[in-house]
Amino acid sequence: MNRTRRLKLQAFRAVVFIVLGAFFLVPIAAMLEFSTRGREINERTLNAWGSIVRTPDLTDAITASLEIAAITCIAMLVLLLPTMVWVRLRFPGLNRVVEFICLLPLTVPAIALVVGMVPIYRWLSINLSSSILTLSFAYLILVLPYSYRSLDAGLAAIDLKTLSEAARSLGAGWFTVMWRVVVPNMSSALLNASLLVVALVLGEYTFANLLAYENLQVAIYYVSLVSAGTSIAVAVASLLFAFALLMILSFVGRPPSPIAKAEDADISVGQTVGLSGGLIGRSR
Partner 1 sequence: MTAVRSAALTAAGRPIAGSRRLSFSWVGLVPFFAYVGLFLFLPTVIIIVGSLTTKEGALTASNFTEIAQGYVVKAFVASITISAASAVVGAVAGALLAYAVAAGNPRGILRRTVTSGSGVLAQFGGVTLAFAFVATIGTTGFVYLFLKDRGIDIYANGVWIYDLAGLTLIYTYFQIPLMLIVFLPAVDGIRPQWREATESLGGGSWHYWRYVAGPLLAPSFLGCTLLLFANAFSAYATAAALITGGGVIIPLVISNLLTSETGRAQPGLAKALAIGMIVVVLLVMSLYTLPQRRTTRWLR
The residue from 46, 53, 74, 111 that contacts partner 1 (CB under 8 A) is 111
- Is 126 a binding residue for partner 1 by CB under 8 A? The answer is no
Instruction: Name residues contacting partner 1, limited to 169-228 (CB under 8 A).
Output: 169, 199-200, 203-206, 209-210, 212, 217, 220-221, 224
Establish if 130 lies at the interface with partner 1 (CB under 8 A).
Answer: no
Q: What is the C-alpha separation between 198 and 77, in angstroms, rounded?
A: 13
Single-letter amino acid, residue 25: L
Compute CA 83 distance to the chain's CA centroid, rounded to the nearest angstrom: 21
Residue 74 lies near partner 1 (rule: CB under 8 A)? no
Question: Distance (Å, rounded) from C-alpha 153 to C-alpha 186?
Answer: 9
**What is the amino acid identity at position 61?**
A
Nearer of residues 174 and 185 to partner 1, judged by Cβ? 174
Q: Does 277 bind partner 1 (CB under 8 A)?
A: yes
Closest CA to 75 of 3, 137, 120: 137
From the CB of 117, what's the least distance to partner 1, in Å?
A: 5
Least distance in angstroms from the C-beta of 100 to partner 1? 11
67 CB neighbour count, 10 Å cutoff: 17
* Closer of 154 and 281 to partner 1 (Cβ): 281
CA dihedral sign, ordered 189, 190, 193, 198: negative
Q: x/- contact string, 220-249, with partner 1 (CB under 8 A)? A: xx--x------xx--xx-xx--xx--xx--
- Quick one: residue 43, left, alpha or beta (phi over 0 = left, psi -120 to 50 = alpha)? beta
Q: Is 70 in the site for partner 1 (CB under 8 A)?
A: no
Among residues 27, 56, 93, 184, which is the contact residue for partner 1, using CB under 8 A? 27
Q: Is 112 in the site for partner 1 (CB under 8 A)?
A: yes
145 near partner 1 (CB under 8 A): no
Decide if residue 103 touches partner 1 (CB under 8 A). no
CA 52 to CA 39: how far, in whole Å? 18
The site that binds partner 1 (CB under 8 A) totals a number of residues, namely 101
Shortest Å, Cβ 73 to partner 1: 15
Give the span between the Cα atoms of 200 and 193, in whole angstroms. Answer: 11
> CB pairs under 8 A, 24+ apart, for 3-8?
none
